[in-house]
Amino acid sequence: MQITLLIEGQEKTFSTGFISSRKFRKALEMQEKLQGQATAKTIDEVVCYVVEVFGDKFTFDELYDGLASNKLIPTLHEVINVVIGDEATKLQSDDFLQKKNQ
């Protein structure tokens, strides 16, 4: 997964590889927060989480200052979806198969 930020006038791309189970669990929490009413505090929490997912390769302020405003929410959702995406899809498939076989 990658994110590109404008830092000191230059585009810098950051990537992350390994996503721990703890980050998966926290992604579920962040997803719940974003599905509720988004407040500045909620967005700040999710931004901190994204910085954490990328291994603190950039700061909270660099993310806020280096990402276009119209890309903030979609980027936050994308990071969360990538972290939980494969597992969430698998869980939904397993639930479907279990219900079908009952």
pLDDT of amino acid 72:
96
pLDDT of amino acid 98:
56
Q: What is the DSSP string of 28-39?
A: HHHHHHHHS---
Number of domains in the chain: 1
Global pTM reads 0.81
pLDDT per residue as tens digits for the range 23-71: 999 999 999 888 878 899 999 999 999 999 999 999 999 999 999 999 9
Helix (H) or strand (E) holding 11: strand 10-15
pLDDT of amino acid 17:
87
Range of the domain at 67: 2-100
pLDDT of amino acid 35:
86
Q: Is the pLDDT of residue 22 over 90?
A: yes
Task: Count the helix, strand and coil residues of the chain and give each as a percent rounded to the nearest 5.
Answer: 65, 10, 20
